[in-house]
């Protein structure tokens, strides 16, 4: 079993970006298939519960055929044309591109989503500030706001109850959601202003160098994660170039 949950989120982010980078520059079914097979064989050993895996990756499985359909109908044409209607033109070329697109969306999307399943916001922020050296005031400010999501949900429920008590909850669902969303934004900005005063009062944003309660570790596992990402990308590219199907996107 691969203990992917324990890997530094920055390494997961990096590995996902590396794989994507190799797959973005080409549009062909060989590189996408190679990458997809390698990715699926690794994902199989990650020990993700099947239910969780399918639930989280469901949007990718839906998006892949839809994007492919768009390309099949409106993609660049070539070879025999099978069907033509207004802007729609299905041809050998567009069918081939659609197949490549389908596999490519899966190959880019699946690892991107799977690598993000187990990321905890606090670990992510620690990694971004300590490892990538992003400005700590901004990273911790964002983390504080992310931690307020639970409060947002409570507020939303309170707003709903308040509107129901006033007897204005049953009129036009869309308008109600928009109005309630705006009220929530006002509430959260007010709360953010208060929070910033509290943070400043405790020395946040001061001039003394920051120390960290939780150290963001970087060791062999993180390097291996990055190297595996690199290897998948290189393997997909090499196989595609050798079979002569590697196609640069801006040809």
Query: Within positions 194 to 213, which residues make up the interface with other proteins, using CB under 8 A?
Result: 195-197, 199-200, 204-205, 207, 209
Single residue of 44, 47, 70, 227 touching other proteins by CB under 8 A: 70
Decide: is 224 part of the binding site for other proteins (CB under 8 A).
Answer: no
In the shown chain, the binding pattern of residues 13 to 32 toward other proteins, with x for contact by CB under 8 A and - for none, equals x--xx--x---x--x-----
Pick 70 or 158: Cβ nearer other proteins: 70
Pick 13 or 34: Cβ nearer other proteins: 13
In the complex, least distance from residue 92 CB atom to other proteins, rounded to whole angstroms: 13
Single residue of 2, 5, 37, 60 touching other proteins by CB under 8 A: 60
Chain-centre distance for alpha carbon 162:
35
Binding residues for other proteins, rule CB under 8 A, total 73
Q: Which span sits near other proteins by CB under 8 A: 37-45, 55-63, 161-169, 233-241?
A: 55-63
Decide: is 109 part of the binding site for other proteins (CB under 8 A).
Answer: yes
Residues 75-94 that bind other proteins (CB under 8 A): 75-77, 87-88, 94
Q: What phi-psi label fits residue 201: left (phi over 0), alpha (psi between -120 and 50 degrees) or beta?
A: alpha
Single residue of 105, 228, 232, 240 touching other proteins by CB under 8 A: 105
Q: Is 126 exposed, middle or buried (0-12, 13-18, 19+ CB in 10 A)?
A: buried
The dihedral over CA atoms of 176, 178, 179, 184, expressed in degrees to the nearest 10, equals 120
Q: Are 150 and 156 in contact (CB under 8 A)?
A: no
Q: Are 1 and 42 in contact (CB under 8 A)?
A: no
Q: Which helix (H) or strand (E) holds 182?
A: helix 173-201
C-alpha count within 13 angstroms, C-beta hemisphere, residue 65 = 4
């Amino acid at each position: 079993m691969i203990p992917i949950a324990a890997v530094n989120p920055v390494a997961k982010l990096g590995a996902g970006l590396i794989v994507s980078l190799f797959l973005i520059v080409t549009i062909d079914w060989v590189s996408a298939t190679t990458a997809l097979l390698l990715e699926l064989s690794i994902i199989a050993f990650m020990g993700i519960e099947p239910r969780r895996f399918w639930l989280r990756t469901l949007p990718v499985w839906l998006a892949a055929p839809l994007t492919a359909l768009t390309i099949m109908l409106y993609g660049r044409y070539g070879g025999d044309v099978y069907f033509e209607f207004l802007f729609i033109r299905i041809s050998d070329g567009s069918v081939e591109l659609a197949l490549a697109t389908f596999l490519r969306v899966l190959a880019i999307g699946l690892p991107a989503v799977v690598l993000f399943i187990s990321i905890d916001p606090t670990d992510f922020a620690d990694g971004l500030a300590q490892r990538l050296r992003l400005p700590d005031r901004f990273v911790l400010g964002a983390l504080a706001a992310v931690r307020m999501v639970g409060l947002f949900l409570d507020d939303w429920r309170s707003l709903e109850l308040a509107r129901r008590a006033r007897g204005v909850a049953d009129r036009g669902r869309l308008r109600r959601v928009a109005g309630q969303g705006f009220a929530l934004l006002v509430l959260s900005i007010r709360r953010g202003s208060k929070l910033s005063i509290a943070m400043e009062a405790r020395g946040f944003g001061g001039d003394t160098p920051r120390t960290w309660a939780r150290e963001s570790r970087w060791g062999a596992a993180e390097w291996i994660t990055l190297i595996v990402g690199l290897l998948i990308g290189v393997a997909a590219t090499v196989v595609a170039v050798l079979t002569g199907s590697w196609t640069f996107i801006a040809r």
